[in-house]
Structure 1
């Protein structure tokens, strides 16, 4: 077996990543597991490391672990060149950890490593691993489509993600383990200052209009933004994306309906819709912010989301469809 390749972002989660990585190293040495660690040094470095690691010659599987948060996971997914060869594991360290939370990955490094090692042994015996869907987003002017594991969206949620990336408030609240409050505060602020757009949505089964659209989120997993269930029944096992949206209602109404969204009770409320399709194409009458897994992509008027069915081999013990809430 090749050495386990580990991409580490020591800066994720305001110090937690450093503690988790130190603990993980002690466990690896104690278990006498051969590994090679790659430390990220700048934005985009994780993607370059993943590209180099996944390009290795030969047919033997590549066991690639990430010690980091959702942003690092997204970078690595976009760097992988051969998904058939890579077996992907995560030891979560970030402040949001939506990828790990949605999939019910272990939170404690010792449990994470135990599960990952059990899955590696299973793979080497020729037994099937947990294989999950990923999403892909493309827009006018993009150099290449971007892969996402959690979600990609337009409008309010994307604007909040963009602001959160450079938010001093988030940095302060993370120190007190109150990072979720960042998204709540920025959501309220952004809701009343943002511009809505009229959107036409096209799918393989037809099209529909989202007038005065506030947000549209293509969900591969049920929740984003620190655990907000934008599409409570989204699944990584069905070959579909769930497009959750809010449109056709006043911003002040949306404000009072946010508690229903947080409680996953939005499906039967006027103005909120959730559609499940293999893909969605949206055409807007004015630009809106676009994100993928919380990372800013661009301000766009045309965007396409599609599901990449059974794209990723995940080093995780499957117990039913764990992405469902």
Structure 2
């Protein structure tokens, strides 16, 4: 039996825009896009699509789309958290911007922790077949480091987590694991590889005006949702809807104890361990005694010094939660 065209919601009567990173998942994103396009055509949904050609291109394309379309307009990133990160930057502060992601990268933490869709089919079902508008507004973090400033929706961190992110993204093994649909393993391998060579730094951390001094810091992470690093549940209680950041500082631990913490992360046991400190706040400033990489949503953004603040209800995103709470008309 042939698929019948949907009776479209009013927001779907105008085209949905897709920005595809053709290099994501070792070029496997092209197959993901073919699946998405097949669904769009079968359902009779109008759409436009663009392939990115370089780093930063998704940001440029998304900005142009929302500049030319002033009503509620969907832009769906087809790629990983890096592609989505650029689209999020373009959407921040725009009331008419609607953001979604078809997971086609290595980490896909946004799809796992906020959007809560694991496949292209699930994303398209949520977007196209929901009777109500399946979007709600989420908090976003605002960062500044050196000459860079921008937004993040997953997490931001300084230290070992950023080092792993950098090494994994530049590893020759990443393409091989992606080809085997096992991209998350590169983070585990990089963790083990860097565990005994990483040089920890002393850091000053200020959270909502309160000063903290930590020695031999492995990492400090501010999370807006539970997952980072390809599915590691680093901050189980973090939520993009509660108008606060969950901050975790891991310090003064031996290499072996950090390995134990990594194991306990999978059930949240790390939050109860000594020298794993948890905080809740809206602002954070970090100064490291030595160069330490900083990542935001998996993108390296600087070293050594970082300022973070929370912007509540900043971005409208595709999310299953919207259907449960009916937060938007």
Same fold (TM over 0.5): yes
Deviation at 1:196, TM superposition (A): 1.2
TM-score by length of 1: 0.90
Q: From the superposition, tell whether residues 235 and 286 of structure 1 become closer, same or farther in structure 2 (CA, over 3 Å).
A: same
The equivalent of 2:79 in structure 1 is 68
Distance in 1 (alpha carbons) for counterparts of 2:270 and 2:24: 32
| Root mean square deviation of aligned Cα | 1.9
Deviation at 1:205, TM superposition (A): 4.9
Q: Does 1:83 align with 2:81?
A: no
Distance in 1 (alpha carbons) for counterparts of 2:59 and 2:204: 33
Distance in 2 (alpha carbons) for counterparts of 1:75 and 1:202: 28
Higher mean C-alpha deviation, range 274-283 or range 186-195: 186-195
TM-score by length of 2: 0.89
Question: Match for 1:53 among 65, 80, 86?
Answer: 65
Deviation at 1:118, TM superposition (A): 4.1
- Partner of 2:271, secondary structure, is coil
Distance in 2 (alpha carbons) for counterparts of 1:220 and 1:233: 9
Higher mean C-alpha deviation, range 36-45 or range 204-213: 204-213
The equivalent of 1:270 in structure 2 is 274
Q: Does 1:139 align with 2:136?
A: no
The equivalent of 1:92 in structure 2 is 103
Distance in 2 (alpha carbons) for counterparts of 1:5 and 1:178: 29
Q: From the superposition, tell whether residues 199 and 93 of structure 1 become closer, same or farther in structure 2 (CA, over 3 Å).
A: same
Q: From the superposition, tell whether residues 186 and 43 of structure 1 become closer, same or farther in structure 2 (CA, over 3 Å).
A: same
Deviation at 1:132, TM superposition (A): 1.1
- Stretches of structure 2 that go unaligned for 5 or more consecutive residues are 1-12
The equivalent of 1:310 in structure 2 is 313
Distance in 1 (alpha carbons) for counterparts of 2:169 and 2:84: 15
Q: From the superposition, tell whether residues 247 and 311 of structure 1 become closer, same or farther in structure 2 (CA, over 3 Å).
A: same
Deviation at 1:180, TM superposition (A): 2.1
- Partner of 1:307, secondary structure, is strand
Deviation at 1:172, TM superposition (A): 1.4
CA deviations on 1:62-95 (whole Å, 9 max, x unpaired) are 2211111111001111233652110112221112
CA deviations on 1:140-166 (whole Å, 9 max, x unpaired) are 232xx1211211111000000011111
Q: From the superposition, tell whether residues 256 and 107 of structure 1 become closer, same or farther in structure 2 (CA, over 3 Å).
A: closer
CA deviations on 1:214-262 (whole Å, 9 max, x unpaired) are 1011111111111111111111111111111210222332233321134
CA deviations on 1:288-315 (whole Å, 9 max, x unpaired) are 0011111111222x21122221111112
Deviation at 1:27, TM superposition (A): 1.2
The equivalent of 1:122 in structure 2 is 132
Q: Are the counterparts in 1 of residues 87 and 99 from structure 2 also a CA contact under 8 Å?
A: no
- Partner of 1:43, secondary structure, is coil
- Partner of 1:266, secondary structure, is helix
Deviation at 1:320, TM superposition (A): 6.0
The equivalent of 1:102 in structure 2 is 113
The equivalent of 1:18 in structure 2 is 30
